[in-house]
Amino acid sequence: MKKIILFILIINLTGPLAFAQKAIADKYDLMPWPKEIRENQSKFVIDSNLTISIHPENSERVHHGAVQFLRRLTDRTGVFLNEGFPVKNKKGSIQIHFDEISKLNIQNDESYTLEVSNATIHIKAKTDVGALRGLATLLQLTAHNASEYFFQGVKITDAPRFVWRGLMIDVSRHFHSVEVLKRNLDAMASVKMNVFHWHLTDDQGIRFESKTYPKLTELASDGLFYTHEQIKDVVAYAGRLGIRVIPEIDVPGHATAFLTAYPELGSKDDYTYSIERFSGVFDPTLNPTKDITYTFLENLFKEITPLFPDDYFHIGGDENEGKHWDENEEIQKFKQKHNLKTNHDLQTYFNVKLEKILNKLGKRLMGWDEIMTPDMPTTAVIHAWRGENEGLTKGGALIEAAKQGYQTVLSNGYYIDRMQSIAYHYGVDPIGDVKLTKQERANVLGGEATMWSELTTSVTIDSRIWPRTAAIAERFWSPKSVNDLDNMKKRLETVSVNLEELGITHIKNQAVILRSMTNNQDISSLLTLTKICEPLKIYARNEDGIEYKTYSSFNLFADACIADAADAYGFNKAVSNFVKDSKKYSNTVLEYLKPWSQNYQAFSQLEKNPKINALEPLSKNVAEVSKLLLEAIQTKNITAKNLQTLKNTIELLKAPVVDVEVALIDALNDLSHYCESNYLKK
């Protein structure tokens, strides 16, 4: 009997209900997609009488969130709101209820319900942060017809899948101002992310003011650092958005900047340290055998931990190859004396000492997965990043850590600086198909997108983070079953544009770069190229870290291009349909090819400079290939000579130019094969 009931339930969930959910998913551009959404017949019309009341009134977070909400709503709709907030003790048309002020830790309850009816909207949550998440959803529900803006009647019941939904920003390789951070925090909150991991130190610079060790800022920052007041300001700003801030002080490797200021902490005598300008893994490493190293770190941690209220503190720990340790006789003797066989053992010795220091300061140590060694206590938190593919379904270091009893966070698969596609990142599930016990599952806290900024300045950082990170945010928040790529991409288009309301520059700065490149000429021919070109992926843009230095130009064509070229996904899809049904899809393919075939003409009109000149072969070859394909498809005919030219030109397009690749190569090859099989006169 039980089996029969279960069977009926399954039928219901996969049958009409699933169909209804699909229809809803097509209708609302929500991201992350909520756990449950049901429509009702109501409609709340947005007019000038809309007001918000907050119960109780004592949450700075919800008050701030409501103010932001009203600003964005009135700007988006053009509706002039009379009051916004009702007078005290009056109920608003939007009523927000919560039970308690969140302590903002990993136990935080972010669940909420949101119910839209004709005259009122209720957001109910256990915590004020949950209420904020509900408000973010409500704003995304804003809809319109020709005569009015409105919220469609729905009841949403929502809660996150993972408690840790983070974005790491590296401010060492390139510094990013408080303003950049704040706008990105706003964007994070808009997609319900809740951890900002602040990578503050690396070989290329120390980015916080130290009063205890002033040479860090004097000698190792190029003057680009945050004062204590600025750090407090960012932490408070994040806190109002329900975002925790985890600082990272990366030691003992990635320490060139530390040692530039305090060479006496280094592992190699008679070595001249200076701030690193290239990218990569370097030898300068703190000396783990000297007491002064621990005194230094303890004093530094004492100075900065009060600025960061969160329980967690990241000590990096990655990519220490121990070369300078191997070259230092004293360190070798120390290893023998303490029975430390390998450099991993020595690093664990260092990490365990750091953990004790941090524990005394009330902090929990977190580090990249290199810190997971047999002697590392399971009180440490493992940040999994390594492995090319094992993070996908097997989980790699993440699953290993969870099974060994460590709390753990996944970044493998969410390295957004690798410039991989939205589809790739969206397809990475933190747990995948791995079976975990309840406790092991609880150890998996969630994930973080990592914005390493070797190739990123404040002009381009937003376009490297967004919109891909919104899709990653959905992976961390929404049920695992929410995985329809096309539907997600449709929703993301709206969400991406709405990020501009928060000052995110990912769309507009493309034109900023192109205007600069062309000395303010007509940029349309270059814009066309950005829609089919992507920056080289997986660090091919800066092979071995030696093409670009800190002060290289990041205002190039590659910087105007993004990981998902706007026309590539649509064209590739159109071609895969065309080769199956050319009659039905030929127009779609031709619509893409026509403007590309004419683009070189427009490009040729530009007054040249070295940056534009470098694009000449790319522009010419794209036009050539498009013209040949266009003609072949239109006439259903291709000569042997043209086919050969087509093949040769596609081959030329395959080679990267100016650090970009054409994102159409497979589809162009498919079309070329199609033409050969179907249009070539034998």
Can you tell me which of 39, 83, 311, 319 binds ligand ACM, judged by CB under 6 A?
Answer: 319
Find the catalytic residue in 83, 298, 303, 319: 319
Look up residue 179 and give its two tokens.
Answer: 């303003």
Q: For residue 32, which of 433, 477, 432, 332 has the smallest C-alpha distance? A: 477
Minimum distance from residue 260 beta carbon to ligand ACM (Å): 20
Minimum distance from residue 368 beta carbon to ligand ACM (Å): 4
Is residue 318 near ligand ACM by the rule CB under 6 A?
Answer: yes
Minimum distance from residue 431 beta carbon to ligand ACM (Å): 21
Is residue 303 near ligand ACM by the rule CB under 6 A?
Answer: no
Q: For residue 368, which of 351, 356, 353 has the smallest C-alpha distance? A: 351
CB-based contacts of 631: which residues, under 8 Å, 6+ apart? Answer: 638, 642
Closest to ligand ACM by CB, 296 vs 368, is: 368
β strands within 333-443, DSSP E: 364-368, 381-384, 407-410
Minimum distance from residue 367 beta carbon to ligand ACM (Å): 9
Amino acid at 558: A
**Is 501 assigned a catalytic role?**
no
Q: For residue 673, which of 564, 582, 570, 565 has the smallest C-alpha distance? A: 582
* Secondary structure tally for the chain: helices H, strands E: 27, 19
Minimum distance from residue 159 beta carbon to ligand ACM (Å): 30
Q: For residue 447, which of 104, 197, 247 has the smallest C-alpha distance? A: 197
Look up residue 452 and give its two tokens.
Answer: 């390493």
CA–CA distance, 328 with 318 (Å, rounded to integer): 20
By rule CB under 6 A, what string of x and - marks binding of each residue 8-47 to ligand ACM?
----------------------------------------
Amino acid at 274: S
- Burial of 127 per CB tally in 10 Å (0-12, 13-18, 19+): buried
Tell me which H or E stretch contains 633: helix 616-635
Minimum distance from residue 350 beta carbon to ligand ACM (Å): 17
Is residue 83 near ligand ACM by the rule CB under 6 A?
Answer: no
Compute φ and ψ for 355, nearest 5 degrees: -65, -40
By rule CB under 6 A, what string of x and - marks binding of each residue 384-423 to ligand ACM?
-x--------------------------------------
Cis peptide bond prior to 535, omega within 30° of 0: no
- Give one DSSP letter per residue of 525-543, joined into a string: HHHHHHTTEEEPSTTGGGG
Cβ atoms of 83 and 67 closer than 8 Å:
no
Which residues sit opposite 680 in a β-bridge? 638
Look up residue 327 and give its two tokens.
Answer: 């070259």
Tell me which H or E stretch contains 665: helix 665-678
Closest to ligand ACM by CB, 308 vs 414, is: 414
User: How many residues sit in the footprint of ligand ACM (CB under 6 A)?
Assistant: 4
Q: For residue 640, which of 593, 579, 682, 597 has the smallest C-alpha distance? A: 682
Q: For residue 241, which of 282, 184, 203 has the smallest C-alpha distance? A: 184
Interacting residues with ligand ACM between 346 and 385 (CB under 6 A): 368, 385
Minimum distance from residue 358 beta carbon to ligand ACM (Å): 19
Cβ atoms of 312 and 284 closer than 8 Å:
no
Minimum distance from residue 496 beta carbon to ligand ACM (Å): 26
Catalytic residues: 319
Residues that bind ligand ACM (CB under 6 A): 318-319, 368, 385
